Amino acid sequence: MSKYITETPLEQIVRAELVEAKGRSMSQVKTAVGCDQIINCWFYNMSTGRPVGNLRIKGVVKANAGWSGYGLTWDAVADMRLALVPVQGGENYLSGVELLTPSRQEGAKLSYDAAYGGRRGRSAAMIAGDTLVLYCSGDGTGDAKTPEALRDELAAIGRKYEPSGTLYATGWDSGGSSQCDFGGGQKITSSRKVAGYFCLWLEKDEQKGDRPVGRQYKVTPSVGVNIRSGPGTGYSKVGAYACGTVVAVTAAQGGWGQTAKGWVALEYLEAVEGAQRTTDTGMKIRTAYIDAGRKNRPGGINPCRYITIHETGNKASGADAEAHGAYLNSSAGEADLVSWHYTVDDHAIVQHLPDGETAYHAGDGKAGTGNAQSIGIEICVNADGDFAKAKANAAALVRLLMEEHGIPIANVVQHNRWNGKDCPYTIRHTAGAWEAFLALCGGESAAETDRKTVQERFGLADETMDYLEAYKYGADLLKKLAERG
Ligand SMILES: [Zn+2]
């Protein structure tokens, strides 16, 4: 096959991201980010490698065409749409060739660069009602098409979902770069390295009752489900979960799952989480989400632009990740109105909230950048724990999150950054500890960054830099020079 088309209801999309290839092939990117579908998308200048058109990734503008045109845009998946970008664009957008817009429906004349014309392999995206359509065809194959034929084919598909309304479609890159992997063998490959990809994560049809422990479930019956004191209808009723409640199952027996408040029949629950996440050091991330509806689980959409590092400040023996998870999902945690995403100790990583939800950990207000745009990690300092090990585990988690969300090392920050609190306390009060932690996260150390900044700014040779570094106060000097913007 040389053409694949997916038609996916927006509600089945868990996550969508534009991912820069940075020299990686399509299969390397797909493996690295763990997405279900991938397609080449943005136009780029083949001689400079730079994107053409309007492109914004997680709030960072990567390319500005100087004009507005219809492109795919979204903050969260639920609001994914084709709209005029950049003027009506969200945190993410990508423009291309306008195939279908409010003023350019079936049969209207298209406007495009000559290089886009002719019969070529093509990538495109369309929003028809609540359905996202992705289109990819191989270059030089019988499925190569002109832009007009592509538009007509998309319009025919879109009318299934939007019989009388406006269809929106954008044409992405074309020609020899055309490639996609939609899963299930629906794959078109190209040896050409492209600049970036559109990646999708889809809801999984998990088999109910299949290894339920440690996973998240949503209550689906409209009347909710009863909670019982044991695994069976013979046990007394101790409460109920409303429809839509997300619960973590911590044990299972005979089709029943144990949750924070008691046992529920698994047949009434629908899995809402994908595969077990594991760090590159092999640590499994255990999920024990704060119950939906608690005041310290505010919801909201976290664009995951920063990672905020904290220390628990709790030296008590036994004050490990598990204990902090129990506290967060209790009336005490709720009353204190605090929450964060992960707690890490010397033997476990426990996740308390999905990354994509906001939390109360930064002390900079409900809409503060720390609370609303960062993932909060608490490192345990319990007396019976190994702090160095806990830091190493936290660094492994940071690496995973940086990879998953495309967060640069420069955006891994201390709690102190948001409201001036002296946190992470031990790290802040140990000379070189923060730089060492960042180095552990796999990024460069501050000293390396300073060196590069100074070298670039003053155009110095490597030998000169080595000489400066070897000087007794060299590190301080480089830091000062680097800071003089
Ligand atoms: Zn803190």
Neighbours of ion ligand 1 (CB under 5 A): 310, 415, 423
pLDDT at 301: 84
**70 Cα–ligand 1 center, Å:** 42
User: Which residues fall within 8 angstroms of residue 465, CB to CB, at 6 or more apart?
Assistant: 451, 454, 455
pLDDT at 135: 97
Among the CATH numbers 3.40.80.10, 3.90.700.10, 3.40.50.261, 2.160.10.10, which is that of 285-444? 3.40.80.10
Eight-class DSSP state of 391 = H
pLDDT at 134: 97
Instruction: Give the pLDDT band of residue 292 (cuts 50, 70, 90).
Output: confident
Q: Provide the token pair at 431.
A: 């000379």
**278 Cα–ligand 1 center, Å:** 24
| Domain range annotation of the chain | 3-202, 211-273, 285-444
Q: Provide the token pair at 163.
A: 């019989």
**324 Cα–ligand 1 center, Å:** 14
Q: Provide the token pair at 241.
A: 């979960």
pLDDT at 171: 96
Are 171 and 124 in contact by the 8 Å Cβ rule? The answer is yes
pLDDT at 287: 85
**101 Cα–ligand 1 center, Å:** 47
Q: Say how far apart CA 220 and CA 247 lie, in whole Å.
A: 11
- For residue 329, pLDDT over 60 is answered with yes
Nearest to 126 by CA among 139, 135, 137: 135
Are 366 and 343 in contact by the 8 Å Cβ rule? The answer is no
Q: Provide the token pair at 442.
A: 């796999």
**298 Cα–ligand 1 center, Å:** 18
**415 Cα–ligand 1 center, Å:** 5
Q: Determine the residue type at 399.
A: R
pLDDT at 94: 96
Are 469 and 463 in contact by the 8 Å Cβ rule? The answer is no
- For residue 206, pLDDT over 50 is answered with no
Quote the percentage of the chain above a pLDDT of 70: 94
Contacts 24+ apart (CB under 8 A), 70-77: 70/95, 70/98, 70/101, 70/168, 70/170, 71/95, 71/96, 71/170, 72/125, 72/127, 72/170, 72/198, 74/16, 75/301, 75/303, 76/301, 76/356, 77/10, 77/13, 77/14, 77/15, 77/16
Min mean pLDDT across 30-39, 81-90, 244-253 is at 244-253
**118 Cα–ligand 1 center, Å:** 58
pLDDT at 157: 94
**311 Cα–ligand 1 center, Å:** 6
The mean pLDDT value for 442-467 works out to 75
**313 Cα–ligand 1 center, Å:** 8
Instruction: Give the pLDDT band of residue 339 (cuts 50, 70, 90).
Output: very high
**361 Cα–ligand 1 center, Å:** 7
Min mean pLDDT across 45-54, 88-97, 108-117, 308-317 is at 45-54
**240 Cα–ligand 1 center, Å:** 35
- Who has greater pLDDT, 132 or 184? 132
The answer to whether the predicted template modeling score (pTM) of the entire model surpasses 0.75 is no
**362 Cα–ligand 1 center, Å:** 7
- For residue 443, pLDDT over 60 is answered with no
**360 Cα–ligand 1 center, Å:** 10
**421 Cα–ligand 1 center, Å:** 7
- For residue 406, pLDDT over 80 is answered with yes
**483 Cα–ligand 1 center, Å:** 26
User: Which residues fall within 8 angstroms of residue 244, CB to CB, at 6 or more apart?
Assistant: 218, 219, 292
Min mean pLDDT across 70-79, 170-179, 214-223 is at 214-223
Segment of 96-105, 224-233, 257-266, 439-448 carrying the highest mean pLDDT: 96-105
Spell out where 41-188 has E strands. Answer: 55-57, 60-63, 69-74, 81-85, 92-95, 97-100, 122-128, 131-137, 168-174, 180-181, 187-188
DSSP string, 274-324: -SPPB-TT-PBEEE-PPPTT-TT---------EEEEEE----STT-SHHHH
Same fold for the pair 211-273 and 285-444? no
Are 169 and 100 in contact by the 8 Å Cβ rule? The answer is yes
The answer regarding whether domain 211-273 maps to CATH 3.90.550.10 reads no
Q: At what angle do helices 462-470 and 446-458 cross, to 10 degrees?
A: 130
- For residue 250, pLDDT over 80 is answered with no
- Who has greater pLDDT, 475 or 289? 289
Instruction: Give the pLDDT band of residue 207 (cuts 50, 70, 90).
Output: very low
- For residue 211, pLDDT over 70 is answered with no
The mean pLDDT value for 338-356 works out to 94
Eight-class DSSP state of 236 = P
Q: What phi and psi, each to the nearest 5 degrees, are found at residue 366?
A: -60, -35
**Distances 88 to 10, 17, 18, 80, 236 between C-alpha atoms, Å:** 20, 18, 18, 12, 54
pLDDT at 209: 35
Q: How are the residues of the chain apportioned to helix, strand and coil, as percentages rounded to the nearest 5?
A: 25, 30, 45
Q: Provide the token pair at 114.
A: 């000559």
Strands ordered across the beta sheet of 285-287: 285-287, 349-351, 342-344, 374-379, 306-311, 412-414
**379 Cα–ligand 1 center, Å:** 9
Q: Provide the token pair at 242.
A: 């409303």
- For residue 133, pLDDT over 80 is answered with yes
**325 Cα–ligand 1 center, Å:** 16
**429 Cα–ligand 1 center, Å:** 14
Instruction: Give the pLDDT band of residue 277 (cuts 50, 70, 90).
Output: confident
Q: Which residue is listed with tokens 């409303």?
A: 242
Q: Provide the token pair at 364.
A: 């900079």
Segment of 266-275, 353-362, 369-378 carrying the highest mean pLDDT: 369-378
| Bridge partners, 238 (sequence order) | none
Give the pLDDT confidence of 68-125 residue by residue, as tens digits: 999 999 988 878 999 999 999 999 999 999 999 999 999 899 999 888 999 999 999 9
**Distances 379 to 345, 428, 435 between C-alpha atoms, Å:** 6, 13, 16
